[in-house]
């Protein structure tokens, strides 16, 4: 596994879009609840048919975890299935995120409160950015933004 991409160069095949993310990454962020830390580990899984994400959020008073698989769904589209330590789950598909960056990797999901998306894109100096946004009548409302660095 690489820990720092030399460039945001995608690999071969449908899951090649994850090549720049493979490895272990960490971010720190200030939030209304106080400072948090998050570690994300992306790794090939099941003979490369999937990419597994293990995310661990250190919220000061406890740890929140997510496990997700990215792969192709029955229709052949790149998709994800996410499960979290609070018992929630979500699923979605690859979508266009070029409104944020020309090389963005974006996923959209129908959530109980509406449509949400998560988007990854390269940082010019090191690592990558990750955001979570909800869709509104006026566009996208961002409520999480992290800058990840090699861990």
Residue 39 lies in a domain: yes
Look at residue 99 and give its three-state secondary structure. Answer: coil
Output the CA–CA distances (angstroms, integers) from residue 57 to 7, 63, 104, 130, in the order listed.
26, 5, 23, 14
Residue 6 lies in a domain: no
pLDDT, tens only, 79-126? 999 999 999 999 999 999 999 999 999 999 999 889 999 999 999 999
Residue 42 lies in a domain: yes
The larger pLDDT score, comparing residue 61 to residue 17, is at 17
Residue 3 lies in a domain: no
pLDDT, tens only, 11-31? 999 999 999 999 999 999 887
| pTM (two decimals) | 0.91
Average pLDDT, rounded, for the chain: 92
Residue 129 lies in a domain: yes
CATH of the domain at 115: 2.40.128.20
Is the separation of the CB atoms in 9 and 24 below 8 Å? no
* 78 DSSP β-pair partners: 72
Question: How many domains does the chain fold into?
Answer: 1
- Give the residue from 47, 91, 37 showing the smallest Cα distance to 69: 91
Domain of residue 25 covers 14-150
Q: Check whether 45 has a pLDDT greater than 50.
A: yes
């Amino acid at each position: 596994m690489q820990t720092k991409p030399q460039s945001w160069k995608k690999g071969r095949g449908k899951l090649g879009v994850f090549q720049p993310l493979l490895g272990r990454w960490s971010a720190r962020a200030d939030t209304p609840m106080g400072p948090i830390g998050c570690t994300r580990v992306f790794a090939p899984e099941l003979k490369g048919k999937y990419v597994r994400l293990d995310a661990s959020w250190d919220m000061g008073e406890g740890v929140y975890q997510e496990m997700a698989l990215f792969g192709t769904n029955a229709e052949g589209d790149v998709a994800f299935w996410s499960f979290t330590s609070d018992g929630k789950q979500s699923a979605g598909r690859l979508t266009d995120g070029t409104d944020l960056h020309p090389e963005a990797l974006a996923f959209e999901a129908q959530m109980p409160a509406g449509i949400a998306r998560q988007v990854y894109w390269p940082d010019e100096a090191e690592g990558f950015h990750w955001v979570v946004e909800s869709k509104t009548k006026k566009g996208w409302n961002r409520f999480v933004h992290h800058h990840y660095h090699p861990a």
